[in-house]
Amino acid sequence: MIMRKVVDQPKTTRKELESCLDQSMDSVICEVVKYTPSPLPDKHYDVDTTEPISCGLHTMDELLSWKRSEANPFGVAVVPLARREPPLDRCLRRTLVSHDMMGGYLDDRFVQGTNAEAPYAFYHWQYVDIFNYFSHHLVTIPPAVWTNAAHKHGVIVIGTFITEWTEGAAVCEAFLKDEESYRAVADKLVQISHCYGFDGWLINIENILSEAAVQNAPLFLRYLTDQMHERVPGSLVLWYDSVIDSGQLKWQNELNQSNRVFFDACDGFFTNYNWKEENLKGMENYLGVQGRQADIYVGVDVFARGEVVGGMFETNKALEIIRKHNFSAAIFAPGWVYESHNDKSEFRKNQDKFWALLSDYLYIHRGVSLLPFVSSFCQGFGKTVYWQGQHETKRSWFNLTAQEIQPLYYQQALEGQGWLRSSGCPEDAWNGSCSLLLDGLIPASHTAPVCAKIFSIHVPLASSTLVSLIYKASPGIAMSLELMTADASQCTYNDVQEVKLTSVSPEVLDNGHQLVNQFTQLYGNLNPNGWTIRCSQLELRGCILREVCVKIERTGRPKDMPFSCRVGELMVLDVASLQVPSDRIQGLCIDDVVWLHGAGTSPEPATYLLLNATLRWDYPATLVRHFKVYWRRLRGPHPSIPPGQLVLVGRSYSNLFRVTELRVPEPPGLLELVVEPVSKMGFRVPESHWGRRSLSYTEDVTK
């Protein structure tokens, strides 16, 4: 049994929060622990642990009463939508992924991540233009972890507004009865998207509509679309193929005169899944499609429910036909690779197989990034957390916000019996959860280096650029970098296919080189643990980095040579940034303190005092990779016990962190909470720049 007790304090207001951030971090927070109900709303915090969670809205009353001031601060995406090349509006055949899995809000509902032995995750972002989070709640708000991961890769994220069957019909009659009502709903959807940082909505009306309601539905769509475009630039509103202009629920499996009125009122149309090739041929010639073929997303159910083309590991058959007729594709429920296979240890293998089969019909977009460009290939889940080649925590975990820019995953044939494969591997890593495994076979007849393209990007280079590669080569194999650059003046979004690329093979700097010494000093005490760290310098002006390749070659005589090499991290940075001093954390404060007395979620039978609290601070988001949160005992429960050492609590990917179930000594006690910023390059920040706050706590003597 857990006894819940909280400090006796009112809800934190914005002004009080600003005041908290202005306080000196040298001041000690004093708390008297009292037994009172928790002030934290159950819909935003787990009832047992107070962990912050994502959730949707179930009723129209919840939607219409939604207030930004009551929104979940942890549920706000912290990664802005990255630019990409080509921009979405110039993509003529797009790919949308609609994630529908087991009702939604599973491991991904935990905003700060969770300990998960076998979670579902997605990492083939290079193929995707739009990500839709789908569930059967009235309003599905995408969990922040998905929005953060997608935005890093320039992928738009849209939520879902769905009404279904008899209950849904009643909801629609209420909100589509007049202009005031449908505008009120649209305004709330716009506010929610703007607040939580995602990019639009899929509107799915799966119930019959009255004559009045069906006449107002396009007006609702147009108003919602216009307001979304105004408040969230680049946003999208899509309509699902369900209701027709008579108000009947009648899936058409195509765009036609019966549903065109909805398509004309928004940004795109998501067809039902039971189409035949004749439906696509008809749409090609339909006047209502002309000029907007890219806005037609032909639905493909990966579970292959009903009479569909392809599905499962034959989904490529559907994609082949869709692309043949020059339409966009909407891949529904690709989590089939996880749900329908009992052996979850095969998940990565099944997922890689699925997307490899589709790859001929998918189009890679380039992420646009400023320096520094850094990736350690972390997929946001794994069996342990690594930091600079060492174990930081040894337990299975899942947090898609931790996912870093993903490389290109593929398998290709070489001459003869040779082959090359690029895949994520959790067995060893430099940072995060996994490394990039490049394995294959160099045939004896192949004398040139094998070139493995790992990134297709658009990164403007500095006049003096430092490139570091951290890797492990297999015996008899040498690894090096080949970079493909272009003249910046040629790289326009209007004609990106004809850019002339120049191959650059940067020379590795000696270990005694000034830049190498400076680089390693900023890194701190490194223990490479078998990893090789190589630095190179580029002196180029007006150049854009477009591709990154790893060259793999034999070091001995020609023979069939199997290889298995790991890339731990790639970093490209402006040499001038090595001179920039790090910032200090400002205004660390502690609020929403809740004490639990019990075992918590631990399987141990003993009971403990467990601290739960929210930490907030100020620090420039553009400078940081993540934050490490620590605690230590300063005093208590007995004066003879010396202060404790810093103990890692967890990682945060924003200026906000919820400490949960932290086992602390019985009162009276004094403890310290510490926040260490980790720079994007992984360089150590001086301890004097960390955030620290002390908390003194005593029992309530009046009880």
Can you spell out the DSSP letters for 147-211?
Answer: HHHHHHTT-EEEEEEEEEHHHHHHHHHHHTSSHHHHHHHHHHHHHHHHHHT--EEEEEEES---H
Which residue from 285, 407, 432 is spatially nearest to 352, judged by alpha carbons? 407
Question: Quick one: which H or E segment has residue 327?
Answer: none
C-alpha atoms less than 13 angstroms from C-alpha of 397 in its C-beta half-sphere = 23
pLDDT tens digit string along 432-453?
A: 999 999 999 999 998 899 999 9
DSSP structural state of residue 10? P
Q: What share of the chain is helix, strand, coil (3-state, %, to 5)?
A: 25, 35, 40
Which stretch, 180-189, 537-546, 557-566, has highest mean pLDDT? Answer: 180-189
| Architecture per CATH, 373-579 | Sandwich (2.60)
Q: What is the rounded CA–CA span in Å between residue 460 and residue 173?
A: 53
Q: What is the pLDDT of residues 86-129, one digit of tens each?
A: 999 999 999 999 999 999 999 999 999 999 999 999 999 999 99
Instruction: Pinpoint the residues of the chain covered by CATH 3.20.20.80.
Output: 60-368
Reported as a pLDDT band with limits 50, 70 and 90, residue 487 is confident
- Kindly state the average pLDDT of the residues 639-662: 92
pLDDT score of 333: 97
pTM assigned to the model: 0.93
Q: Using alpha carbons, select from 497, 353, 520, 375 the residue that is nearest to residue 433.
A: 375
Q: Are 590 and 611 in contact (CB under 8 A)?
A: no
Give dist(CA 232, CA 609) in Å, integer.
Answer: 45
The strand order across the sheet containing 84-85 reads: 84-85, 366-368, 450-460, 543-554, 477-487, 502-504
User: Is the distance from CB of 96 to CB of 66 less than 8 angstroms?
Assistant: no
> Could you give the residue range(s) of every CATH 2.60.40.10 domain in the chain?
3-39+583-699
Residue 226: how many CB atoms within 10 A of its CB? 15
pLDDT of residue 13: 47
For residue 591, the SS3 value is: strand
Give per-residue pLDDT as tens, 294-322: 999 999 999 999 999 999 999 999 999 99
The tokens describing 430, both together, are 């430099």
Q: Is the pLDDT of residue 279 over 50?
A: yes
Give, as one character, the DSSP assignment of residue 273.
S
CA–CA gap between residue 668 and residue 316 (Å, rounded): 64
Which residues in 512-607 belong to E strands, given as ranges? Answer: 532-539, 543-554, 561-574, 586-598
Per-residue pLDDT of 243-252, as tens digits, reads 999 999 999 9
Phi then psi dihedrals of residue 417, to 5 deg: -95, 10
Where does CATH 2.60.120.260 sit in the chain?
Answer: 373-579
With 0-12 / 13-18 / 19 or more C-beta atoms within 10 angstroms meaning exposed / middle / buried, residue 580 is exposed
**CATH no., domain 3-39+583-699:** 2.60.40.10
Is residue 23 pLDDT above 70, yes or no?
no
Contact predicate 279/253, CB 8 Å: yes
Count the neighbouring beta carbons within 10 Å of the beta carbon of residue 679.
Answer: 19
Percent of the chain with pLDDT over 90: 80
> What confidence tens digit (pLDDT) does each residue in 156-186 have?
999 999 999 999 999 999 999 999 999 999 9
pLDDT band at 144 (very low <50, low <70, confident <90, very high): very high
pLDDT at 30 (0 to 100): 86
Two tokens, residue 486: 């272009």
CATH topology for 60-368?
TIM Barrel (3.20.20)
CA angle 339, 345, 349 (to 5 degrees): 80
Residue type, 266: C
